[in-house]
Structure 1
């Protein structure tokens, strides 16, 4: 009796997982396909969002996006078959060879381990790659001819690029580090902070050479260089360190700043605007970026056109 109940429960769960999520013309998309597609995003969401209501809303949005993507792929696969754009075994083998060369893989067992790390068997990866290559053929036939990037597009993109690049600056800073062990007791942390505070006061005194003070008193690896960190932009340093460095004026000395390494006293030596690359230098990069953006937009439009002509019945 117990075994029968356990069996019936397992069957019920299987039916729940494998029930139909959507029917695209005559093709079925199972709910299990949707769950597999959305699993990585759900895993990240569950650790990043604590509020249950917001998490449930995001889960629903992610599942809908995954289902829409699967519907689009089904519709494109039908077109691939209709237009005879299938990928030959020779084309697939050549693509697999490229993947192996790019990853410096020569042994079959090594390739299998590489794929396993990405959640694929060799057979599953070949199926995935064949479908992806087929969709690329379809895009090249139906979408790529529509993608045009004019000189005006490029100049507008360059204007935006210069605004973004010139809006920031580089900072040349030095620091003095008072190290604090990761497992230090609160009183040890406070003692180190007071030590750093005294160093900051000393560094602000007229005539004091910060570089020499850092050589003599810093406990960090840059002490020999006078605590010199060189020039850096945002996104390079630890966040707490960076906030202070970019808020100080030239010549300014900070209050002690805590990071995982200990307490830092910073001095900003210089700030300078970032040189923006000339148009001709970045033209090719901008063109590729615009082509990619326009291709993605036209692919979305193409899939929507296919969907409007198809029979799509969403069940969830």
Structure 2
């Protein structure tokens, strides 16, 4: 994934990813954040994502996640999300289960950052579009 010159924060360098990221504040540790859930107040997010060029393909991946977990109200286990990412993602990170590791606010651009920093820990985002294609994000952690 490449640079995105339309970053809301003017820091369009780095990869853009999609997904959702949760924050350690949801465990009751709102370090430095004003919000008790930590959403939107953390500095770093740990996430996995699935990236597809075509909307139909990302919808297939999402349906697989829904059928396995989301329709039952369950959270998708990271290992299971990784299997779906390896099967569907067109991003090089797909080979490692969509793992993006920890990334700071300002590294990812536009919609990806917005979704990553607003998705609760353990939650999976709905599919969304960015300049790189269609994404689903699994939020794995937050920290300051």
Q: Tell me whether the two structures share a fold, i.e. TM-score over 0.5.
A: yes
Task: Provide the residue aligned with 1:201 in structure 2.
Answer: 66
Q: Is residue 229 from structure 1 mapped to residue 103 from structure 2 by the alignment? A: no
* Among 158, 172, 175, the residue aligned to 2:49: 175
Separation in 2, partners of 1:242, 1:174: 13
2:117 is the counterpart of 1:243: no
Tell me if the contact between 1:204 and 1:253 (Cα under 8 Å) persists in the aligned partners.
no
- Gap change, CA 1:197 and 1:243, over 3 Å in 2: same
On the 8 A contact 2:61/2:84 being kept in 1, the answer is no
Higher relative strand content:
2
Relative contact order higher in (CA < 8 Å, ≥ 6 apart): 2
The unaligned stretches of length 5 or more in structure 2 are 1-31, 34-40
| Contact 1:179-1:220 within 8 A present in 2 as well | no
Task: Give yes or no for the alignment of 1:267 onto 2:132.
Answer: no
Structure 1 distance, partners of 2:69, 2:137, is 11
Question: Structure 2 CA distance, aligned partners of 1:263 and 1:219?
Answer: 10
TM-score, normalization: structure 2? 0.59
8 Å contact 1:172–1:232 — kept in the other structure? Answer: yes
- For 1:1-59, what per-residue CA distance to the aligned partner results, in whole angstroms no more than 9, with x for missing partners? xxxxxxxxxxxxxxxxxxxxxxxxxxxxxxxxxxxxxxxxxxxxxxxxxxxxxxxxxxx
Is 1:211 matched up with 2:76?
A: no
Between Structure 1 and Structure 2, the one with more helix by share is: 1
**Superposition deviation, residue 196 in structure 1:** 4.7
Deviations 1:212-265 (A, max 9, x none): 221122121111111011111111112101111111111010000101221101
- Rg (Cα) greater in structure: 1
Cα distance between partner residues in 1 of 2:81 and 2:57: 19
Cα RMSD of the aligned pairs, angstroms, is: 2.5
Q: What is the distance in 2 between the residues matched to 1:192 and 1:210?
A: 15
User: In the aligned structure 2, how far is the partner of 1:257 from the partner of 1:199?
Assistant: 16
Match of 2:123 in 1: 252
Q: After superposition, where does 1:57-96 map in structure 2 within 5 Å?
A: none
How far did 1:176 drift? 0.9
Q: Could you say which residue in structure 1 is the equivalent of 2:21?
A: none
SS in 2 for 1:175: strand
Instruction: Kindly report which structure 2 residues correspond to 1:289-308, keeping only aligned pairs within 5 A, or say none.
Output: none
User: Residues 141-198 of structure 1, C-alpha deviation per residue, up to 9 Å, x if partnerless?
Assistant: xxxxxxxxxxxxxxxxxxxxxx79xx53210000011213xxxxxxxx4x34533542
Query: 263-272 vs 209-218, which deviates more?
Result: 209-218
Aligned equivalent of 2:16: none
Count of matched residue positions in the alignment of Structure 1 and Structure 2: 100
